[in-house]
Amino acid sequence: MGIVNVTPDSFSDGGRWDTTEAAVAHGRHLVEHGADVLDIGGESTRPGATRPLVAEELGRVVPVIRELATDGVVVSVDTMRAEVAAAAIDAGAGIVNDVSGGLADPRILDVVADSDASYVAMHWRAHADRMRDFSDYGPDGVVASVRRELGERLDAVLAAGVPRERVVLDPGLGFAKKPGQNWELLAALDGLRELGCPLLVGASRKSFLGSLLAVDGVPRPVDEREHAHVALVTLLAVSGVDLLRVHDVRATRDALAVVAAMDGGQA
C-alpha cells in the first residue's frame, strides 16, 4: 500500500503532493514501483495536527481518487469521516482506511456496510492533537489493551453489517503509543491475528524508528529512517503480515523480492 498524502502538513512529506496533479503523478509513480494499492489521505494525523474542514478534505482527496481509479488502480481513502468515505467510494475507492476504527465518526461503518468497499480498522484512542495523553495502558500493558480494544472495534464493525471477509485490522503504530510500546506490539502480532482478520502494519518513517536511531538523544530525521524501515518490513513479511503501508514502495518491493527468493519462491 503506497502512501499519497494530499496534505500541507503530513509529518513525512507534507506539501510535496498537495495538489491534484502532483498527487496523481506521485500515485502513478508508486504504481510503477510496484504498489498494489494507493492510500489517498487528505488529513494529517501526525501528533499535534489540527483537523481540516470537511470541504477541504473532500477537495483534496476526491479528484485524486477519481483520476487514479480511472487508471484501474486499487484505491484506498485514508479518512475518519463518513462524508469523505461516501464520496471517495462514489469516486472509485475500494477500501476505506479509518485510523479511528469508527470511533471518530460511527456513521462511517454504515457507509462501508452499504457499499462493496473493504474496511481497515486501526487501533486509536484520540485525535492527533490529544493522542499523546492516552499512552497509559495500565496494568494490562499495551499488547493486551490493544488486542481488547481492537477486538471491540471489530465487533462494532461486524455489528454494523460489514462482512468479516472485508475487514482488515491495524495495530496503530505511533498512535497514542510511546516508542517502546510500538516494539512490544510488533513482537506480539500473533495475538492480533487471533481476531481472525488480515493485518495491515504502517511503520514507515514513524517516530519510534527515529527514536531507535537517535544520536545523543536527537532522533534520526524523518527522511533518514528508510534503512531501518526496510529491515522491519522484511521481518514483517517473513512473519506473514498481509499489508504493508509504506512511503518508499521500491525499497519495500526490493525487500519482498529477497524474502521470496529466500523462501524458494518467485520474486
Catalytic residues: 206, 245
Element (H, E) at 211: helix 207-212
Four-residue CA torsion sign, 35, 36, 42, 46: negative
The per-residue b/e assignment along 186-220, b for 16 or more CB within 10 angstroms, e otherwise, is bebbeebeebebbbbbbbbbbbbbbbbeeeeeebb
The rounded distance, in Å, linking the Cα atoms of 119 and 139 is 31
Residues 39, 3 contacting (CB under 8 angstroms): yes
Residues 109, 118 contacting (CB under 8 angstroms): no
The rounded distance, in Å, linking the Cα atoms of 257 and 245 is 17
The rounded distance, in Å, linking the Cα atoms of 110 and 261 is 42
SS3 96: strand
The cell 498494489 sits on which residue?
Answer: 36
Residue 101 backbone phi and psi in degrees, to 5: 60, 25
SS3 134: helix
Residue 17 identity: W
